[in-house]
Amino acid sequence: MNENITRRNELLAQKVIAGLKSRNMTGYYAATREEACKIALDMIPEGSSVTMGGAMSAHEIGLVKVLKDGNYNFIDRDEYEDKRAAMLLAYDADFFLSSANAITNDGVMVNIDGNSNRVSAIAQGPKKVIFIVGMNKVCDDVDGAMKRARNVAAPINAQRFGLTTPCAKTGACMDCKSPDTICCQFLITRYSRHADRIHVILVNDNLGF
C-alpha cells in the first residue's frame, strides 16, 4: 500500500481508537492482515468456543482458517444441518467474530442484517465480540456510515448471495420491502455497557464489503 495512505490510516485509526475508548470499547491498529490475525489470536485462549456471523474480513486475514485448524471449539454453522441450532450456540460462545458494515471516525459502528443472528449476537450474548474492520469502512459520521452500509455493503452482499433485491440489480439502496431484503435490522453500536466485551481491530487494508 502507498506509504502516504498507510500514514493517513495510522493517524485516522488512532482517532477511531480514542473514540472507541470513550465508548467503553477497545481498539487496536494492525499494519497488516497478518498482524491483525495475531492480535485476534492473542485474545482467544486455546479451547475457547468461537463462532461468527459471516464476517468476510475474518476470513481475509486468515483468522478463520487458524481457528478451524487449531485447538479451538470453532462453531461453523455451515457444518450444521440445523442452521438455527448453530446460530443459537453463538449466544453462549466465548468469542463472536464479526466485522462492521461501517464505523465512524469517533467509534460508532453500524451493521445491517437480514436473519438478524449477527446483530443480535453483537448486542447481547457472547462473552466477547471481536470486530475485524478494514480502514475502507471508516466514515465521517453516523449518517455517512448508514449510507455506506445501505449503498455499498448491502448491494454487494445481495449480489454475493444471489438475491433478487432491487439493490442487487441497481447497485444502490432502493429502500425496498423485497422478500429477499437483507436490510431487516439495523444496529448502531455507540457504547458498550460491559467493559472488555467489544474489541475492534482496525486493519490497514481494504477488507470485506
- Tell me the average confidence (pLDDT) per consecutive run of 10 residues in the chain, 209 residues long: 93 98 98 98 98 93 97 93 91 97 98 95 97 98 98 95 94 95 97 97 96
**Span between the terminal Cα atoms of the chain, in Å:** 18
**Length of the chain in terms of residues written:** 209
Q: How far is CA 151 from the centre of its chain?
A: 17
Identify the pLDDT of residue 158: 94
pTM of the model: 0.96
Distance of CA 157 to the CA centre of its chain: 13
Q: Which residues are registered as beta bridge partners of 35?
A: none
Query: What local confidence, expressed as pLDDT, does residue 83 receive?
Result: 86
Query: What whole-number distance in Å separates Cα of residue 3 and Cα of residue 68?
Result: 34
Confidence (pLDDT) at 54? 80
Number of folded domains that form the chain: 1
Residue 78 pLDDT: 86
pLDDT of the residue at 125: 95
Residue 76 placed within a domain: yes
- In this predicted structure, what is the pLDDT of residue 175? 96
Q: What is the DSSP string of 114-153?
A: SS-HHHHHHHSSSSEEEEEEEGGGEESSHHHHHHHIIIII
Residue 55 placed within a domain: yes
Question: Is residue 169 one of the residues assigned to a domain?
Answer: no
Distance of alpha carbon 158 from alpha carbon 112, whole angstroms: 12
CATH number for position 52: 3.40.50.10420
Q: What confidence score (pLDDT) does residue 137 get?
A: 98
pLDDT reported for residue 1 = 82
Task: Report if residue 176 sits inside a domain.
Answer: no
Tell whether 42 is covered by a domain. yes
CA distance 146 to 80: 33
For 28-76, the pLDDT digits (tens) are 999 999 999 999 999 999 999 999 988 899 999 999 999 999 999 999 9
Q: Which pLDDT value is given to residue 71? A: 98
Residue 15 lies in domain: 3-139+189-203
